Amino acid sequence: MRIEEIDKNFVPASIGDLQLHYLEVGAGSLMPRGLAWYEQDKQFCRLPQAALSSLSEGVQGLAWHTAGAQLRFKSDCLHLALQVELRGPSNMPHMPASGQSGFDLYLGSGRDKQYVKTAIPPYGADKFEQLLFSQSQAEMQEFTLNFPLYNGVKQLRLGFSPGAELCAASPQAVKNPVLFYGSSITQGGCASRPGNAYPQLLAQQLDFQCLNLGFSGNAKGEPRMAELIAGLDLAALVLDYDHNAPTPEHLEQTHYPFYSLIRARQPQLPIIMMSMPDVDLKLEAANVRRYIIEQSYKKAVAEGDKNVYMIDGFKLFGKSYRDACTVDGVHPNDLGFQRMAECLQPCLARVLRVEA
């Protein structure tokens, strides 16, 4: 028996006989954000097409996952629907389809945004259409739609009620984007929906554009990746790839050089170094890795860097119910991500010069 047959709360909103005008995402007021090279390549890809062949096979594939991508626009539409073709069906046993392949919608501007709904693909589907929003009277609203964390998008269209106005969203408080480079945790595994991954939580709380370069199992501090990051005009960089360094030796050999390559190109860029959050089941190993990152930080400070900061991963999950912060002892759930965002927010707000 299908759950929606016995509990109507699980039935997706029906489009039924609604008359909708569909627009292709990728132009005008429907230009995606959070994809640094979209304007150049016109692809739902987190890395530039010309650079993919110079990166690992894992990064080449994961680059098509749309973590951090979003749409922001204003409209007075009575109805808003989504029509999407994904790169594949949901297939992760420890992450809900709503986070892996869903789109979540918020209303409001600046920091005053309210979650409305998540569009979730049916079981086994890679194409679906869903009604996201309805209102009884035409009123101009600001919409933010977050893309899937662990799936890619081949085609995306939004359906608006006929005659609806569509225009650009309000400018964000922070002009340039904040980039997060790191592991599966950075990418958003295993949030229940895209807006609950810690980079997106921070982007909403502090009102900035997020560039998520989390590459599950494949962020290893490669010089080529540092070069790509160094070429972007950023407000801040969060360096969070501890988890993907296969050994402490690899972390030690790559961490400071990765920072140093970026710092040479961008002397004033605020850089926040982080160690891994899931430490309780591997205290000794986590201590070793934290020490390596701390040494990178101290060396940078000793060389006169006044724009480098460190977040101790041992503090990211807080003090109480730490074992309730992950789905599998490693990947945060929504509670874990919320605590990570709360821990990181004061430092990030300070470097962005906005109120925490």
Express each pLDDT in 148-195 by its tens digit: 999 999 999 999 999 999 999 999 999 999 999 999 999 999 999 999
Q: What are phi and psi of 280, to 5 degrees?
A: -65, -30
- The CA distances from residue 160 to 14, 15, 74, 79, 142, in Å, are 15, 12, 12, 6, 14
Please check whether residues 133 and 268 belong to one and the same domain.
no
Question: Is residue 64 in a domain?
Answer: no
Indicate whether 11 pLDDT > 60: no
The pLDDT value recorded for residue 13 is 55
Please check whether residues 21 and 90 belong to one and the same domain.
yes
Please check whether residues 163 and 212 belong to one and the same domain.
no
The pLDDT value recorded for residue 29 is 84
Please give the mean pLDDT across all residues of the chain.
95
Domain boundary among 107, 141, 168: 168
Please check whether residues 331 and 203 belong to one and the same domain.
yes
Please check whether residues 30 and 145 belong to one and the same domain.
yes
Residue 87 sits in which domain range? 3-56+69-168
What is the value of pTM for the model shown? 0.95
The pLDDT value recorded for residue 5 is 62
Q: Under a CB-based contact definition with an 8 Å cutoff, are residues 135 and 85 in contact?
A: no
CB within 8 A of 213, min separation 6: which ones? 46, 47, 179, 180, 181, 182, 186, 219, 225, 229
Q: Give how many domains the chain has, as a whole number.
A: 2
Please check whether residues 83 and 198 belong to one and the same domain.
no
Indicate whether 40 pLDDT > 60: yes
CB within 8 A of 93, min separation 6: which ones? none
Please check whether residues 237 and 342 belong to one and the same domain.
yes
